[in-house]
Each structure stands twice: as C-alpha cells, then as structure tokens.
Homo-oligomer: A and B are copies of this chain.
Amino acid sequence: MYLYYFEMTLSEEDYIKAIYHLSQIDGKTVATNAIAEQMQTKPSSVTDMVKKLSEKSLVKYKKYQGVSLSEKGRLVALSIIRKHRLWEVFLVDKLNFSWDEVHEVAEQLEHIKSDALIDKLDAHLGFPKVDPHGDPIPNKEGFFTKSVKKLISELPVLSEGVCVGVNDSSVAFLKFLDKNNIALGDTFKILDREEFDGSVTISTRVGPIRISEQIASNLFLEIVDEE
C-alpha cells in the first residue's frame, strides 16, 4: 500500500473511509445522502468534499451520479483501515480493553501519520491477520485475505474458523462458554451436525464437544479463504 505522499486532512480521510465502507455494501456508486448519513453531516457538505476529493483524484464523481473510489482512493482507504484494525488489536491484546470498547479510540489512532510506527506496531503484535472483531487486516500493499463471519449454525460440516464474537452477550451465556473452554480467539472445526435437533460437534482445545443449536446460533466464526 504505497503511502500517499500528499497531505490529507482528518476530514478527508474520514470521507474516504466512509465511501469505502458504503461501496462494500452494494458494489455500485455511493449516494451523497448515504455519505451524509454515515458522516453525520448534510448532503451539501458532502457535495463540497466530494468535489475536493475528485480534484485530488481520490474519487470518481459525476454530478448527480454518485461517487466511487479511484484506485488511489481505495489504497488510501485500505491504509486507514489497516491502521484502525492494528490499533484495535493493540488495545485488546496489549492494553486489555474488551473488543467492544475499542472502536472509538481506534477511530482517533487511525489518523496518526507515521509509516515506521505502523510497521513496528504490526511487528510488535506479531503481524496479526484479523482484528478483534474478526475483520481482516490489509497488509502494507493493501492486500488482505477475504473472510466471512458466520454463525456456527450456518456453516457446513468440516468448516474451520476462529471464534470472533457472540450474538448473545448475557452473563449466563458467557459463563457457559467459559465452563466449556470456549473463548474468543480459539480455532474450532465443525466435526458433525445432528440433523434431528441441529446440535453440532466441534473440536476445542480440550477435545470435541457437543453444543446445542441454540448455542451454535450465538457463536460467530471467522472463516478465512485465501484469495
């Protein structure tokens, strides 16, 4: 991801990131109104900024036709996302934040400008491939392994993935997980599914265990498929 050798304001970076995320939802161009909502601002402000980004060749824009990122803009977006997700790993792994507390702070840290910092942070964290929410971390060149986050109940037998989240964060559920040696970050393989009641056998650190359909539909696995 070739570092962008031109100055970008905080606001410009936020717009680029918003446009990237919105264009992931459905591949088409992104609507002015959609950006305005995402950015908590007014459509007229979006038009102003989009013109500016267009002049810098970061987006492709034709009046009334919506916006999309240029290749340059896409790389900028991925570089910001890389920083955001690396900082999230840092906050969770090193500073003991829980994975649902880190977003806001990472939103600030992602704007820190220093390539050396990000390289060293990446190394310090052991070159992680996904953030604490299971989202993939682009590498320096902007490549990342596509991955999908799915409930165990939705996955076929023999799928394998890292446990990255829960649907139900009640104390009772979390206690159940703890008792059964299931923790975020563990790798599980789906060994068998009982068609009768939807219960599933998965491998864990302490050997295979059987979980009910109810449990399986509350646990997210992160499935990485190399591209």
Contacts and interface: CB of A to CB of B under 8 A. Distances in A.
A120 B108 contact: no
Interface residues of A, number: 18
A140 B96 CA distance: 20
A117 interface: yes
Chief secondary structure at chain A's binding surface: helix
A185 B176 CA distance: 47
A94 B95 CA distance: 12
Instruction: State the oligomeric state as a number of copies.
Output: 2
Contacts of A116: 97, 101, 105
A182 interface: no
Contacts of A109: 109, 112
Contacts of A112: 105, 108-109, 112
Contacts of A104: 114
A114 B105 contact: yes
A121 interface: yes
A97 B116 CA distance: 9
A8 B105 CA distance: 17
Contact of A120 (B97, B114, B120): B97
A113 interface: yes
B124 A113 contact: no
Interface string A158-169: 000000000000
A107 to B, nearest CB: 10
A52 to B, nearest CB: 21
6 contacts: A95-B120, A97-B120, A105-B114, A105-B117, A108-B113, A112-B112
Given A95-B124, A101-B116, 7 more contacts: A91-B117, A94-B124, A95-B120, A97-B120, A104-B114, A108-B112, A109-B109
Smallest CB-CB A-B distances: 4 pairs: A95-B120, A105-B114, A108-B112, A105-B117
Interface of A: 91, 94-97, 101, 104-105, 108-109, 112-114, 116-117, 120-121, 124
